[in-house]
A = this chain, B = another copy of it.
Amino acid sequence: ENFIHLCNPHLEKMKEDILYHFALGTGTHDFPALFGDVKFVCVGGSPSRMRAFIAYIAEELGLGSPGCDYPNICAGTDRYAMYKVGPVLSVSHGMGIPSISIMLHELIKLLYHAKCSNITIVRIGTSGGIGLEPGSVVITRQSVDATFKPQFEQVILGKTVIRSTNLDEQLAKELMECSKEIGQFNTVIGNTMCTLDFYEGQGRLDGAICLYNEEEKLQYLKEAYDSGVRNIEMESSVFAAMCNLSGVKAAVVCVTLLNRLEGDQISSSHDVLVEYQQRPQKLVGYFIKKSLGKV
Bound CA–CA A270/B18 (angstroms): 12
Quick one: closest B residue to A235, CB to CB? B98
Among B98, B209, B216, which residue has its beta carbon within 8 angstroms of that of A98? B98
Binary flags per residue of A93-129, CB closer than 8 Å to B gives 1, else 0: 0111111011011101100100000000000000000
A20: chain B residues within 8 A (beta carbon): 265-266
> A278 near B: Cβ within 8 Å?
no
Bound CA–CA A9/B18 (angstroms): 48
| Interface bracket on A | 35 or more
> A197 near B: Cβ within 8 Å?
yes
- Do residues A155 and B201 form an inter-chain contact, with CB atoms below 8 A? yes
**In the assembly, how many copies of this chain are there?**
2
Bound CA–CA A46/B76 (angstroms): 12
A97: chain B residues within 8 A (beta carbon): 96, 98, 196
- Name the distance in Å between A277's Cβ and chain B's nearest Cβ: 12
- Name the distance in Å between A260's Cβ and chain B's nearest Cβ: 13
Bound CA–CA A108/B207 (angstroms): 9
- With known contacts A8-B207, A18-B267, A265-B20, A101–B156 Cβ distance under 8 A: no
Among B158, B195, B208, which residue has its beta carbon within 8 angstroms of that of A105? B208
> A39 near B: Cβ within 8 Å?
no
> A154 near B: Cβ within 8 Å?
yes
- Name the distance in Å between A68's Cβ and chain B's nearest Cβ: 21
> A162 near B: Cβ within 8 Å?
no
Quick one: closest B residue to A220, CB to CB? B157
Of A79, A197, A209, A234, the most chain B CB neighbours within 10 A belong to A209
* B-facing residues in A255-285 (Cβ within 8 Å): 265-267, 270
A207: chain B residues within 8 A (beta carbon): 8, 105, 109
> A3 near B: Cβ within 8 Å?
no
> A34 near B: Cβ within 8 Å?
no
Bound CA–CA A20/B265 (angstroms): 8
A265: chain B residues within 8 A (beta carbon): 14, 17-18, 20
A156: chain B residues within 8 A (beta carbon): 200-201, 211-212
- Do residues B99 and A99 form an inter-chain contact, with CB atoms below 8 A? yes
Bound CA–CA A197/B99 (angstroms): 8
> A55 near B: Cβ within 8 Å?
no
- Name the distance in Å between A24's Cβ and chain B's nearest Cβ: 13
Q: Could you list some 14 contacts between A and B, CB below 8 A?
A: A8-B207, A11-B206, A95-B98, A97-B196, A99-B99, A101-B197, A102-B199, A105-B207, A105-B209, A112-B208, A146-B157, A156-B200, A157-B200, A157-B217
